[in-house]
Structure 1
Amino acid sequence: MTLHPFDGATALEPSGDGRWLGHTSAAYANMVGPFGGITAAQALSAVLRHPQRLGEPVALTVNFAAALEDGPFEVIAQPVRTNRSTQHWTLEIRQQGQPVLTGTAFTALRRETWAATEHAMPAVPPPAEVQPPTVGKRVEWVHRYEMRFVEGGFPSQWDGRDTGASRTRLWLRDAPPRPLDFASLTALADVFYPRIWRRRALLVPIGTVSMTVYFHAGAAQLHEAGTGYLLGQARAQAFQGGYFDQTAQLWTEGGTLLATTHQVVYYKE
Structure 2
Amino acid sequence: MADAPHSFDRAINLTSVDVAPGRARYDGEITADYQNKIGPFGGVGAALLAQGMQQSVGEGPELISITADFLTGMTEDPIEVSAICHRVGKSTEFWAASIKQGDAPSPALRATGVFSKRRDTLEWTEGEMPDAPPPQDCERFQPPRTWGERIEIRPALNTDFFNSDSTRNALWVRFAKDRPLDPIGLVCLADTPTPRVFFTAKRFVPLSTVSMSVYLHASAEDYSNVGADYVFIDAYAGRGGGGFYDQHARIWSRSGKLLATTQQMVWYKAEK
Unaligned runs of 5+ in 1: none
Report what 1:33 is aligned to: 39
Give the direction of change, closer, same or farther, for the CA distance of 1:51–1:258 in structure 2 (3 Å limit). Answer: closer
1:183-213 per-position Cα deviation (integer Å, ceiling 9, x unaligned): 1100000011210012222111000000000
1:65-85 per-position Cα deviation (integer Å, ceiling 9, x unaligned): 000111201111111100121
Contact 1:54–1:107 under 8 Å retained in 2: no
Alignment partner of 1:106 out of 103, 108, 114: 114
Q: Equivalent residues in 2 for 1:227-238 (5 A)?
A: 227-238=228-239
CA distance in 2, matches of 1:52, 1:131: 40
- The answer to whether residue 174 in structure 2 is matched with residue 173 in structure 1 is yes
Q: Equivalent residues in 2 for 1:37-56 (5 A)?
A: 37-51=43-57, 55-56=61-62
CA distance in 2, matches of 1:129, 1:26: 30
Contact 1:206–1:265 under 8 Å retained in 2: yes
**Structure 1 position 145, deviation (Å):** 1.2
Report what 1:216 is aligned to: 217
Q: Equivalent residues in 2 for 1:232-247 (5 A)?
A: 232-247=233-248
**Structure 1 position 51, deviation (Å):** 5.0
**Structure 1 position 52, deviation (Å):** 5.0
Deviates more, 1:169-178 or 1:92-101: 92-101
Give the direction of change, closer, same or farther, for the CA distance of 1:50–1:241 in structure 2 (3 Å limit). Answer: same
CA distance in 2, matches of 1:84, 1:57: 16
Deviates more, 1:42-51 or 1:2-11: 42-51
Report what 1:123 is aligned to: 131
Report what 2:11 is aligned to: 9
* Partner secondary structure for residue 34 of structure 1: coil
* Partner secondary structure for residue 205 of structure 2: coil
* Partner secondary structure for residue 178 of structure 1: coil
**Structure 1 position 100, deviation (Å):** 0.6
1:107-164 per-position Cα deviation (integer Å, ceiling 9, x unaligned): 111111111100311111222222324xx63211111111111123364x6xxx7x32
Contact 1:237–1:245 under 8 Å retained in 2: yes
Question: So what's the TM-score if we normalise by structure 1?
Answer: 0.93
Report what 1:65 is aligned to: 71
* Partner secondary structure for residue 139 of structure 1: coil
* Partner secondary structure for residue 236 of structure 2: strand
Contact 2:49–2:110 under 8 Å retained in 1: no
Give the direction of change, closer, same or farther, for the CA distance of 1:154–1:19 in structure 2 (3 Å limit). Answer: farther
Report what 2:200 is aligned to: 199
Unaligned runs of 5+ in 2: none
Q: CA RMSD in A?
A: 1.6
CA distance in 1, matches of 2:167, 2:234: 10
Contact 1:182–1:219 under 8 Å retained in 2: no
Contact 1:74–1:95 under 8 Å retained in 2: yes
Contact 1:54–1:87 under 8 Å retained in 2: no
Residue 72 of structure 1 aligns with an amino acid whose one-letter code is P
Contact 2:13–2:28 under 8 Å retained in 1: yes
